Amino acid sequence: MRSGTPQGGQATIEYIYVLPILLLLLLASLQFIFIYEAKQTLNYATFVGTRAGALNNGAMTAIKDGLAAGLAPLFAHKIGSATDLDAVKLGRRTARTELANPKLAKIEIVNPTAGALGGFGGEIPNDNLMYRDPAILKGGMNVQDANLLKVRVTYCVRLVVPIVKNMIFGFAVAPPSAPATIDSTYAGGAIAAPELLKVAAPGTSSGLCYDNDAGSNPVFYRIPVTAEAVVRMQTPFKDPGQWTAP
């Protein structure tokens, strides 16, 4: 019996050391599950928005409507005696509000470019593409490439798990002493994973995921997640109204 007492005490001490680590890993796993869910939903929503734009001459309003519809499941929750229809309406309304906030979202039409649209005289034709000469460039782009609508969406996903959200936010966001901005050009067309977690320093006009009025103390914890989609135009591309929104 005496020989077992020290071992039992040692096991208790080891358990006390290990338990916080296990809890932290559990909380981190839960938070990353939420982030993954949001990323998958954003991927789908970006495709829906791009598809809507392809059917409506590339109009940004149509893209935003499609995005709101695709993001609605993230916010469609039944509260109290609310019906399924009420939950859907709430989700759609909340998604629209989130996408309309320049601190929380950025929607960009990457392709075709404004130069290509100008080169084609304000309207990029969509008919008989297989018979048009691909060697003819207007605004640096042939008509086949100009008919590929590419949309990039950056959305600030809310971090909700206690403790972990502070850690992720601290690691993901560049400190004010060494600010990093989300570069909408993404050199080479590739999106580097670290760039998805960098935002501008607080107080700047281009900063995402920050409450600019709160200075260095953000009132919410969010990190930017980016998705892209490419859909062939089904209608002639015209002036989208906005190339970047909101």
Domain membership of residue 125 (yes or no) is no
Domain membership of residue 126 (yes or no) is no
pTM tops 0.85: no
Element containing residue 153 per DSSP (H, E): strand 148-158
How long is the chain?
246
Domain membership of residue 81 (yes or no) is yes
Residues 6+ apart with CB under 8 A from 236: 57, 123, 124, 125, 126
Do residues 95 and 72 lie in contact, with contact meaning Cβ atoms separated by under 8 Å? Answer: yes
Query: pLDDT tens, 193-209?
Result: 333 344 444 334 446 77
Do residues 176 and 202 lie in contact, with contact meaning Cβ atoms separated by under 8 Å? Answer: yes
Domain membership of residue 17 (yes or no) is yes
State the total domains in the chain.
Answer: 1
Query: pLDDT tens, 32-79?
Result: 899 999 999 999 999 999 999 999 999 999 999 999 999 998 888 767
Domain membership of residue 86 (yes or no) is yes
Which pLDDT value is given to residue 175? 47
Which pLDDT value is given to residue 7? 61
Domain membership of residue 40 (yes or no) is yes
Residue span of the structural domain in which 75 resides: 4-112+147-245
Domain membership of residue 141 (yes or no) is no
Mean pLDDT of 170-188: 46
Domain membership of residue 10 (yes or no) is yes
Mean pLDDT of 71-99: 83
Residue 16 CA to residue 39 CA, distance in Å, equals 35
* Average pLDDT, rounded, for the chain: 79
- Count of other CB atoms within 10 angstroms of residue 34: 16
Q: Record the tokens describing residue 199, joined without a space.
A: 């935002």
Q: For the chain, first and last CA: distance in Å?
A: 72
Residue 192 CA to residue 203 CA, distance in Å, equals 25
